Structure 1
Amino acid sequence: MADPTVSVIIAAYNAMPYVTRCINSVIEQSIGRNALEVIVVNDGSTDGTAEEVDRIASTHADLIRVIHQKNSGGPSAPRNVGLTHARGKFVFFLDADDYLGPEALERMVGMAEENGTDIVLGKMVGVGGRGLPMSMFKSNQPKTDVFHSRVYWALNPLKLFRRDFLERHGLRFPTGLPIGEDQPFTAMAYLRASGISVVADYDCLFCTLREDGGNTTVRTKGAEPRLRFLPHMIDLLLEHVPPGPDRDHLAHRHLTVEVQQLLGHLAREPRPQQEKHLARLAEIIDPLWHEGMNDRLSAMARLRLHLVRHRMLDEVLELVEFERELAHSKVATPVLVEGGRAYARYPFFRDPARAVPDACYDVTDQLGVRHHVHRAELRGTTLHLAGHAYLHRVETRDVTTHLLLRERNRGTEYRLPVTHTPTPHLGTDEDQGRYTYDHAGFDATVDLATAANGTPLPDGLWDISLTIGTQGITREVRIGSKRAEHLPNTPTTHLLTGLGDQPRAVTLYTTKPHGNYTLDIGENKHPVRRHLTLDTPRWSAGEPSELVVKGRCTLAAWPQDALVAVLTAGDGTADEVFPAVPVAHTDAFTVHIDLRRLTAGLWRGELRLGPWSMPLPPLPQDAPPTKWRHRGLRWYAKPETNGNGKQLAVRVGRVRLVRGAVRRLAR
């Protein structure tokens, strides 16, 4: 029997009724049964889980293998057992209360095979109020690593691993930790992987918050269990990652997520334990946290770590309560703007008795940026943009907002003025109306013919941003992701004159996936020819001396009378030009080619739009000749059969009556 593509390892302990849905979600995977094996390790369940997995396995004996063992106290041992028995090229660890999307394994295996990666993260979805890390799933990542992505914020093992990679590095789950046992395994796998992929465009894994509170992290209370595994992770980083930005990137996760969660448990303990556990936490984090990391950390994280380091227990407890209330509040914390910096008014701000440094409250670089675009259009060479933009919690006084055009590849920038417009009542729909922004409007009129310091904007991809300035604070933001519903999200391409010697293509479009506005000048991503389509030419039904060509032009605008059909004499000595006539209220056009204007000989046709051209399609092979009278003489036109077959070619000539009579007699 051939080895399967994927071994799905399910560690099951008292997982009723969730385990049924879990196993069925694997059986029904689109990757196919022949590509799967399912290994269920029952870790001494007492609630009927053992009987249920045996029942399912009895009807899928070719697919499911069940291993029963005494309870080990955690998921590490059963996962290790499953890994020992796995035969698949890949393994996927699945918790018994979770389940897979129908195409999850097919998509993840495809991503691994295509990019040669050792680990694939599939997008996770919380069920029943389960909170999950999501920052790594903003977009697909074909191949990344642990230092240049947010994958380290997902340290659970519910991922696809290449099995020979795990075996080569001897990776197994540590036992003996009540919680967090998956973190050392996943962290070492991240550090050893030759590449990591992320599938973010499909819901791969559904993680359930159990109604009975049976999830391990929910069931395990108190700070002490967390103080047991956190040193393992910090020692792992200190041993395997040299000091510097890479270590700081990973340390960020532990100094924020783990410390905050641990303090939440500590706050519910008796006072003696609180003092003991806070002192222990301060010792644990000391080797990892240094002042150079502060730019990576939020102000709240800086404040939290400062209080822990100085063992300020009462202040820690007050901050935990403040964060709890803040999480349930609909009002953001006010800020003080001073000297071009913004400081959050968190507890103990400028309290002389606590002497916490202002740096622990500095939120200047973390201020939320709000914007909305209600006008975005190109008319002629003029770009019109209007909307509003402001810094959350900062009153719009002394506003100095500008429009910024930046060429994506070269980095060239042009800063352009905007007109500031009033926005009464803006801000009343958030924070219970506590903050208002009545001078946040902007109106920009940009002439592309002079935007580059008085000269036309060069070819390139010009990303559009605002530098929002107020009270001495300036933040930059790409605009377009928040826009009025009536604004189109499809590209609009214009052919414009006045930007050089020839018409130039200018496309206003929104980027994917973020939806921000960019100007494409010069067909970098939006070729003009894609907007031109032509139907097969036909002889006119009512006028035998006329050839009719129909087509469509989906450009938003082009120079008047620039779209024409041109027929060129076979020897290249003459051109005849025929205008395209637009069909009212559509993007269709029709060209009427008057054959009477053509002299005798071979003629080839093309469609021209300024400097762009494309061949006119040939007539149907079975099209008969057409004949007409012109100035008393009889003429004909017929398809040229010895052309290249991809371009209209017609031969025009006079009907020779004597020659025709001789041919008829010869028959």
Structure 2
Amino acid sequence: MKKVSVVVPAYNAHDTLARSLGSLVNQTLQDIEVVVVNDASTDDTIDICNRCKAAFPDKVVVVDSAVNMGCGGARSLGLDAASGEYIGMADADDFVAPTMYEKLYAKAVETGADIVDSGFYAESTDKAILTVSDDLAGELDDDKRSRLIVSGGYLVTKIFKREIFEEPKIRMQHNMAALEDLEILIYTYLRAGSIAAVKEIFYNYCDTAGSNTKTMNIDKYYDSAYRAIRGTYDKCHEMPDYPGCQAAVEMMMANIYSYGVNRCLYDQIVRLGADKKNVKKYFEGLPSKELSMIKELVALRNEVIKIPFEENGFIMSKIAELDLAILKECEMRFGA
């Protein structure tokens, strides 16, 4: 068994994959496995994968999917193939520092933590983020889990004990255009008993032009938002630690609910202006498709979000006033 397996989904990644894989196979941690999944690419991605495997046969595993499954589906295939004691994830657009997995694994051994996190650097905004502060590290309770959930974070900055994904077996949804990480990230915070962090910036997010989140149409975004909410609830609501973290999880679902509604209202908001005085007007003359989508989102919200918004401190403090006004209008019109 390798110490760490890093799962890398790759779709038409000709321009970036070699750099990404190069940063992984040249880690200072020698006992590492790089599981790269070619997600039915139409370019030479599989050739790049195979050349890397030929050069590093003891480190690289290639999974060649005949069917495009999206980032979540490809990661799930990679998890099926991974053998490591700990699991990491990376994207084919990005690259990591040479010492990332050696230092994360050393911290895991030192602390016995189920999850070890590190810092994230976004090139486009020149910002560095570290989610796990000292007061959140260690054994997890309801308060720590809740604060981790609402702070978000990233799968790609972490390593996870393999058991988190295998006992019971948990995988990601296929063919989601965005938001496929949300349910799994929340699930891991609920599933883990402890968390640690290395306070260094290792992961470089390169924000590739033309990525899904930049070009997404309303149908893809709606599908992603709806499935992210549904998937989060289905994966998490029966977990033992869910009741103590319910407000935090519901805040995250409410946030995606707000994103979905706002996407349906986007043209109206642009035309009329983003102002509370225009909220009622946003819903007037709305095309039937957008109206139907909003009604479906409201029905889902009613099923999965049980705490009234005004009684959930996370929602009241973290969702913008205008967005809350839009959601209140949804509920007045379509029931809650």
How far has the Cα of 1:279 moved from its partner? 2.6
- The answer to whether the aligner puts 1:305 opposite 2:321 as a matched pair is no
Structure 2 counterpart SS, 1:38: strand
Equivalent residue, structure 2, for 1:23: 21
Task: Identify, as 1 or 2, the structure richer in strand.
Answer: 1
* Structure 2 counterparts to residues 76-95 of structure 1, below 5 A: 76-95=72-91
User: Deviations for 1:496-531, whole angstroms, at most 9, x for unmatched residues?
Assistant: xxxxxxxxxxxxxxxxxxxxxxxxxxxxxxxxxxxx
- Distance, in Å, in 2 between the alignment partners of 1:276 and 1:90 is 43
Q: 1:130 and 1:80, CA in 2 relative to 1: closer, same or farther beyond 3 A?
A: farther
In 1, the alpha carbon distance for the partners of 2:101 and 2:48 equals 24
Deviates more, 1:270-279 or 1:105-114: 270-279
Match of 1:191 in 2: 190
d(CA) in 1 for partners of 2:48, 2:119: 28
Deviation, 1:302, is 5.1
> Aligned in 2, Cα 1:130/1:50: closer, same or farther, shift over 3 Å?
farther
**Aligned: 1:151 with 2:170:** no
Change (3 A) 1:243 1:58: closer
- 1:139 is displaced (CA, Å) by 4.8
Report the Cα offset of residue 237 of structure 1.
4.5
| Equivalent residue number for residue 174 of structure 1 | 173
CA contact (8 A) 2:118 2:130 kept: no
- Check 1:240–1:155 CA distance in 2 against 1; reply closer, same or farther (3 A cut): farther
- When residues 311 and 154 of structure 1 are mapped into structure 2, their CA distance, relative to the original with a 3 A threshold, is closer
* 1:249 alignment partner in structure 2: 248
The TM-score, its normalising length taken from structure 1, stands at 0.42
Aligned-partner Cα distance in 1 for 2:238–2:320: 24
- Match for 1:5: what amino acid? K
| 1:267 to partner: Cα distance | 2.7
Map 1:452-601; keep pairs closer than 5 Å: none
Aligned residue in 2 for 1:204: 202
Runs of 5+ consecutive residues of structure 1 not aligned to the other structure: 315-667
Contact persistence 1:44–1:68 (CA under 8 A): yes
Aligned to 1:66: 62
Cα shift at 1:168: 2.3
- 1:631 is matched with none
Which of structures 1 and 2 has the larger relative contact order (alpha carbons within 8 angstroms, sep 6+)? 2
- Given that 2:261 and 2:297 are in contact with CA atoms closer than 8 Å, whether structure 1 keeps it comes out as no
Letter in 2 for 1:311: C
Larger Rg: 1
**1:18-76 superposed Cα distances (whole Å, 9 cap, x missing partner):** 11111111122122x2x112111111111222222222222222222222221323123
Quick one: which of 36, 41, 45 aligns to 2:32? 36
Change in Cα spacing, 1:170 to 1:229, as seen in structure 2 (3 Å) is same
Determine the structure 2 residue equivalent to 1:98. 94
1:130 to partner: Cα distance: 8.6
The code of the aligned residue for 1:101 comes to: A
Q: 1:299, 1:15 → 2: CA distance? A: 36
Structure 1 partner of 2:260: 262
Equivalent pair of 1:147/1:249 in contact (CA under 8 Å): no
Amino acid across the alignment from 1:8: V
Residue equivalent to 1:117: 113
Secondary structure in structure 1 of the residue aligned to 2:248 = helix
Q: Deviations over 1:572-617 (max 9, x none)?
A: xxxxxxxxxxxxxxxxxxxxxxxxxxxxxxxxxxxxxxxxxxxxxx
Separation of aligned partners in 2, 1:221 and 1:293? 31
Which amino acid is the alignment partner of residue 53 of structure 1? C
The match for 1:136 is: 131
Distance in 2 (CA, whole Å) between partners of 1:245 and 1:167 is: 24
Write the letter of the residue equivalent to 2:293: H
Q: In structure 2, do the counterparts of structure 1 residues 54 and 140 end up closer, same or farther at CA, with 3 Å as the change threshold?
A: farther
Number of residue pairs matched by the alignment: 305
* CA RMSD after TM alignment: 3.0
Matched residue type, 2:292: K
Cα distance in 2, alignment partners of residues 148 and 249 from structure 1? 11
* Shift, 1:202, TM fit: 0.4
Q: Partner letter of residue 309 of structure 1?
A: K
C-alpha separation in 2, matches of 1:293 and 1:166:
30
Q: Contact 1:41–1:79 at 8 Å: present in 2 too?
A: yes
Alpha-carbon shift at residue 14 of structure 1 (Å)? 0.9
AA partner of residue 179 (structure 1):
A
SS at match of 2:144: coil
The structure carrying a bigger helix percent of its residues is 2
Q: What percent of counterpart residues are identical?
A: 22
SS of corresponding position for 2:33? strand
Where 1:82 maps in the other structure, the secondary structure is: helix
Task: Assess if the C-alpha contact under 8 Å between 1:174 and 1:185 holds in 2.
Answer: no
- Structure 2: which amino acid aligns with 1:274? E
Matched, 1:277 2:281: no
AA at the equivalent of 1:248: A
Residues 107 and 268 of structure 1: CA distance in aligned 2, closer, same or farther (over 3 Å): same
Residues 408-423 of structure 1 mapped to structure 2, 5 A cutoff:
none
Q: Residue 6 of structure 2 aligns to a residue in which SS?
A: strand
Change (3 A) 1:72 1:156: farther
Q: Report the TM-score, using the length of structure 2 for normalisation.
A: 0.79
* Cα separation, partners in 2 of 1:163 and 1:271, compared to 1, 3 Å: same
> 1:305 offset after TM fit, Å?
2.8
Moved more, 244-253 or 120-129: 244-253
Aligned amino acid, residue 26 of structure 2: E
Q: Which amino acid aligns with 2:232?
A: M
Structure 2 residue runs of 5 or longer lacking an equivalent are 268-285
Relative to 1, partners in 2 of residues 1:302 and 1:244: Cα closer, same or farther, differing over 3 Å?
A: farther
> What is the letter of the counterpart of residue 42 of structure 2?
T
